[in-house]
């Protein structure tokens, strides 16, 4: 048990001020760091299921250097972070992308950063990329970006990909959205992935472990609970909005064991994900489950 609930609640306005400080207001930089540190006090385990290495193709982000991101995560109390690569969105040589990702995780985040390789079933020899992730780099999972790779979930290759991943014991992370459409570059627009086929795909794929990333911008209510109820499926919090959003999510029928902490750092400020846990009224067992226990269980299920 932790003393997490004994910590004072953080007002959203105060938190946003602290986040602005952390983003680079030099005169109040130390105050921002203090607020971020205080936001993570009280638990011995925090697993971040949604981080990215390398560079976002359209702009520089704070902590988009692997060493800097690893230091940031450690300072915030993260004990493990599941990492994909921004290079996996647009690069066609995904074998090289995944090899670099694995090396970056080893070099800068051994024991912290866990690589999740990118797979594009539209590319030739994607099965070999999958094999290399599982056997060569010994990754525990893969990350899919259908909207950037130009396929829909009813494409026949998707069912085959999920089946092969399940057979290899790989956890599949499916990213529905990377960026608000209003912020997209006019020459690089990627509509959110349509999740409608997912429930059927999960039911027809024995042994599949699936996690939805950045899903809650476009997937909510019965549509979300239907997919989560189809099998071993989890969802992260990165794009969950609204004060008390986590408590509302649970009250709306999403099982506690299917909710995992994810920050989407460095695309999003890490502190914003922590705030989502602080401003919802959650019991200590609920916090422990979301902060780490659910992620550990989902990852261990494939071993």
DSSP letter string over 78-94?
Answer: -SEEEEEETHHHH-S-H
Burial of 91 (0-12, 13-18, 19+ CB in 10 A): middle
Helix (H, G, I), strand (E, B) or coil at 297: helix
- pTM, two decimals, is 0.86
- Condensed to tens digits (0 to 9), the pLDDT of residues 80-96 reads 999 999 999 999 999 99
Q: Is residue 99's pLDDT more than 60?
A: yes
Percent of the chain with pLDDT over 70: 85
> Which has more confidence, 181 or 162?
162
> Which has more confidence, 167 or 243?
167
Q: Is residue 291's pLDDT more than 90?
A: yes
CATH code 2.40.160.40 for 9-26+45-179+188-300: no
Q: Is residue 21's pLDDT more than 70?
A: no
Q: Is residue 134's pLDDT more than 90?
A: yes
Give the residue-averaged pLDDT of 46-57: 97
Whether the bond into 82 is cis, omega within 30 of 0: no
Confidence of residue 71 (pLDDT cuts 50, 70, 90): very high
> So what's the pLDDT on residue 43?
54
Give the residue-averaged pLDDT of 142-171: 97
Q: How far apart are CA 57 and CA 253, in angstroms?
A: 37
Burial 223-245 (b: 16+ CB within 10 A, else e): ebbebbbbbbbbbbbbbbeeeeb
Confidence of residue 6 (pLDDT cuts 50, 70, 90): very low
Q: Is residue 297's pLDDT more than 70?
A: yes
Give the residue-averaged pLDDT of 171-186: 87
Q: What mean pLDDT, rounded, does the chain reach?
A: 87
Give the residue-averaged pLDDT of 6-27: 40
Query: Percent helix, strand, coil in the chain (nearest 5)?
Result: 45, 15, 40
> So what's the pLDDT on residue 18?
46
- Picking from 69, 26, 60, 79, the residue whose alpha carbon sits closest to that of residue 293 is 79
Percent of the chain with pLDDT over 90: 76
* Domain limits, the chain: 9-26+45-179+188-300
- Condensed to tens digits (0 to 9), the pLDDT of residues 240-271 reads 988 899 999 999 999 999 999 999 999 999 99
């Amino acid at each position: 048990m932790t003393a997490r609930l004994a910590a004072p609640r953080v007002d959203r306005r105060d938190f946003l001020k602290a986040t602005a400080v952390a983003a680079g207001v030099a005169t109040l930089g130390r105050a921002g760091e203090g607020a971020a540190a205080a936001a993570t006090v009280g638990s011995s385990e925090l697993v971040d299921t949604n981080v990215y290495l390398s560079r976002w193709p359209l702009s520089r982000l704070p902590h988009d250097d692997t060493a800097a991101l690893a230091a940031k995560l450690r300072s915030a109390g993260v004990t493990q972070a599941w990492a994909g690569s921004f290079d996996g969105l647009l690069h066609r040589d995904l074998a090289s992308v995944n090899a670099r990702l694995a090396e970056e995780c080893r070099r800068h985040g051994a024991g912290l950063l866990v690589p999740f390789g990118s797979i594009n079933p539209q590319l030739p020899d994607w099965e070999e990329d999958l094999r290399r992730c599982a056997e060569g780099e010994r990754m525990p999972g893969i990350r899919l970006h259908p909207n950037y790779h130009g396929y829909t979930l009813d494409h026949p290759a998707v069912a085959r990909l999920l089946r092969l991943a399940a057979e290899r014991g790989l956890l599949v992370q499916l990213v529905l959205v990377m960026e608000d459409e209003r912020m997209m570059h006019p020459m690089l627009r990627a509509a959110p992935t349509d999740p409608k086929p997912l429930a059927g795909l999960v039911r027809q794929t024995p042994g599949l472990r699936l996690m939805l990333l950045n899903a809650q911008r476009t997937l909510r209510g019965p549509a979300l609970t239907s997919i989560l109820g189809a099998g071993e499926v989890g969802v992260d919090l990165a794009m969950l909005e609204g004060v008390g959003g986590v408590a509302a999510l649970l009250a709306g029928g999403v099982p506690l064991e299917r909710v995992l902490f994810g920050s989407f750092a460095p695309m999003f400020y890490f502190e914003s994900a922590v705030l989502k846990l602080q401003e919802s009224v959650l019991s200590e067992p609920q916090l422990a489950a979301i902060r780490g226990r659910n992620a550990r269980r989902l990852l261990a299920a494939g071993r």
